[in-house]
């Protein structure tokens, strides 16, 4: 089974451990931005670099939307998720949002350095004022910023939080 490597694996694993791993083309720039020296080393590793078909990216967006993880995933994260889904491989990542989305879709995750997430979570929008909740809409803006809109009841900021059981 193919292993789809997140950028954390490219940064932290020895080159021998990367051999045969599948990566998204978009990870080249991300890796260079994080560590130019490491990017040069990784160029010599025997990796499979892939572009992401639109159908796979659409599926990744759908899966991340279902769990509520979409607002906090970057374009590169979505490319990696799309490859893992499309290839039905093992996703190698320490990113808990990627792990959550992929495991929700029935995939297998292998951690890079950290322990894997313990459970699959579903996220929701929660008002910081009145505590009203709502599903994370498909149109929510993707950003690392916690604020994801305004409350329909009181106008306070809505933030993405784990759905309570």
Question: Would you write out the chain's pLDDT as a tens digit for each of its 165 residues?
Answer: 899 999 999 999 999 999 999 999 999 999 999 999 999 999 888 999 999 999 999 999 999 988 888 888 899 999 999 999 999 999 999 998 899 999 999 999 999 887 677 777 888 889 999 999 988 876 666 655 566 788 999 999 988 888 765
In the CATH hierarchy, which fold is given to the domain comprising 3-110?
A: Rossmann fold (3.40.50)
Distance between CA 27 and CA 50 in Å, rounded? 10
pTM of this structure: 0.81
Q: Domain boundaries in the chain?
A: 3-110, 123-162
């Amino acid at each position: 089974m193919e292993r789809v490597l997140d950028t954390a694996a490219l940064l932290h694993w020895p080159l021998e451990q990367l051999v045969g791993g599948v990566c998204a083309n978009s990870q080249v720039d991300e890796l260079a931005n994080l560590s130019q020296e490491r990017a040069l080393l990784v160029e010599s590793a025997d990796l499979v670099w892939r572009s992401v078909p639109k159908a796979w990216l659409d599926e990744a967006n759908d899966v991340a939307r279902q769990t509520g993880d979409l607002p906090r995933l970057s374009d590169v994260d979505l490319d990696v998720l799309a490859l893992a889904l499309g290839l039905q491989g093992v996703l190698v990542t320490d990113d808990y949002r990627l792990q959550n989305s992929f495991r929700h879709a029935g995939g297998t995750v292998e951690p890079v350095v950290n322990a894997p997430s313990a459970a699959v979570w579903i996220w929701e929008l929660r008002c910081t004022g009145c505590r009203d909740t709502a599903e994370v809409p498909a149109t929510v803006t993707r950003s690392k910023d916690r604020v994801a809109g305004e409350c329909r009841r009181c106008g306070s900021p809505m933030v993405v939080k784990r759905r309570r059981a």
